[in-house]
Amino acid sequence: MKLKQTIGTSRITPYVFIFPFIASFLIFYLYPIISTFIMGFQLVYPGQVEFIGLENYRKLNNPEFKVALKNSFRYTVYTITLLIPLPLLLSVWLNSGNKTVNTIYRSILYVPTLISVVVAGTIMRLLFASSNRSIVNTIAIALGAEPRQWLLGGPSQAMILLLILALWRWVGVNIIYFLSGLQAIPDELYEAADIDGASPLQKLWRITIPLVKNTTIFVTTISIFGGLAMFEESYILWAGTASPNNAGLTIVGYLYKKGFQEGEMGMTSAIGIVLLLIVFTLNTTFLKTFGFFDTEGRQK
């Protein structure tokens, strides 16, 4: 009898341990996704729910959403262009030379990551304020240039501010990722290259870059998601979603505007589903294109 009870308990125990994970997944992940998908086909207002088919998706064919899409894609492309090669080169530099000095540099570059988006955005607003007494305009005047209204400019000017903020905050994180990949490369490969007379550029191109391929793919994948999901930076810089001519409006910013400012939760759900499909499609295509999965879909 005791043996049967012990066997029964041993069978139940694993399910008891994994139950919190399963419950949290069902409640906080699966249920919201299913609800969002259903709401995408509904007109949802306080006290009013009505199925309207694809009407919410048809409403997305408007100039404002197209601007949000354009801004998000531009931001994603530019951040990938900057936040892949620059951290890779810095990590190669930090991985060589004096270890004590390089540790100090690593800490300095990583510190901005620990600062919240609200604080970082507020600092940027103060630096690039329209007043002639702002730090950037003060430097511009001292150099003989005209002060500018940085936060009231066009799309190109807005994108520059967002990219500066992205570089300041995320270079340190990507450096950590690349350093972990670099430290897995055997020193013997570089020693053999030195014996063959390879230059630093040749070692970078022939050894370092190929052997940090998986790290590069990982960083690029999270950069695609992070770029398309960017919201807080733009919201803090322009104190909301009302940037000049929607220069700082993103997909998530448009989602926030429709859902929390205008109360169109059905259309908000449709925007979320569209964003999910875009991110999933881009990341899956990227991973398959660069050989992260084999022909049968298994990770290499």
pLDDT in tens, 187-215: 888 888 888 888 888 888 888 989 999 99
Between 81 and 105, the higher pLDDT residue: 81
- Can you tell me the mean pLDDT for 227-246? 86
* Bridging pattern class, strands 42-45 and 48-51: antiparallel
Handedness of CA 163, 166, 169, 170 (dihedral sign): negative
- Can you tell me the mean pLDDT for 225-230? 91
Record the pTM. Answer: 0.86
Handedness of CA 96, 99, 100, 104 (dihedral sign): positive
Confidence at residue 6, expressed as pLDDT on a 0 to 100 scale:
58
Q: CATH for 61-289?
A: 1.10.3720.10
Between 250 and 46, the higher pLDDT residue: 250
Report whether pLDDT(295) > 50.
no
Percent of the chain at pLDDT exceeding 90: 29
Q: Tokens 């729910």 label which residue?
A: 49
Confidence at residue 101, expressed as pLDDT on a 0 to 100 scale:
66
What DSSP element (H or E) covers 107?
A: helix 99-110
- Can you tell me the mean pLDDT for 163-171? 89
Provide the residue ranges of all domains of the chain, joining segments of one domain with +. Answer: 4-9+15-51, 61-289
Confidence at residue 87, expressed as pLDDT on a 0 to 100 scale:
92
Helix (H, G, I), strand (E, B) or coil at 128: coil
Residues whose CB falls within 8 Å of the CB of residue 151, separated by 6 or more in sequence, listed in order: 125, 128, 129, 130, 158, 161, 237, 238, 244
pLDDT band of residue 123 (cuts 50, 70, 90) is: confident
> Residues 112, 172: contact at Cβ < 8 Å?
yes
Percent of the chain at pLDDT exceeding 70: 92
Report whether pLDDT(20) > 80.
yes
Report whether pLDDT(296) > 80.
no
Residue 188's closest CA among 215, 207, 214, 216? 207
Confidence at residue 113, expressed as pLDDT on a 0 to 100 scale:
80
